Amino acid sequence: MSTLHGSCLCGSVTYRIDGRPLDFVLCHCGRCRKVTGSSFAANLIARPEDVSWTAGEADILRWDLPTARSFAASTCRVCGTPVPHVTRNGQFMIVPAGTLDSTPDTKPARQIFTASKAAWCIDVADLPSEP
């Protein structure tokens, strides 16, 4: 697999992933819905050593949910875009798939925390499409 590149909306924070991601998941937990403002989070899971910042590391704000054992979020301090962050135990890097500028050669492999799925979350294939 080739190197993947990603960035925030304003371009202040950029990163690269060297090496194949370990997983690609859609998370339906309430925390992920809150932090993304969407029906689920689409996240690549990578090894921390495979992710490197190419610009703007100093522009990253990290927030750890105090009531959770491991939930965290990182954003660009300039535009607020979610950006990759390492898990508290240091074992994994959570990469918001929507921040990728490259197309990975993998698709989401599974959905997690589906018991928490929003009641209004539907299969988008059922919706009309516009170009």
Closest by CA position to 74, among listed 12, 19, 23: 12
The predicted-structure confidence for 79-127, as pLDDT tens digits, reads as follows 999 999 999 999 999 999 999 999 999 999 999 999 999 999 888 888 8
Structural domain contains residue 130: no
Q: Kindly report the pTM of this predicted structure.
A: 0.91
Structural domain contains residue 72: yes
Tokens of 56: 């703007």
Structural domain contains residue 124: no
Identify the band that residue 1 occupies on the pLDDT scale cut at 50, 70 and 90: low
DSSP one-letter code for 39: S
Q: Domain with 110 in it: what CATH number?
A: 2.170.150.70
Exposure on the CB side of residue 112, measured as CA atoms within 13 A: 14
Structural domain contains residue 126: no
Closest by CA position to 38, among listed 47, 27, 46: 27
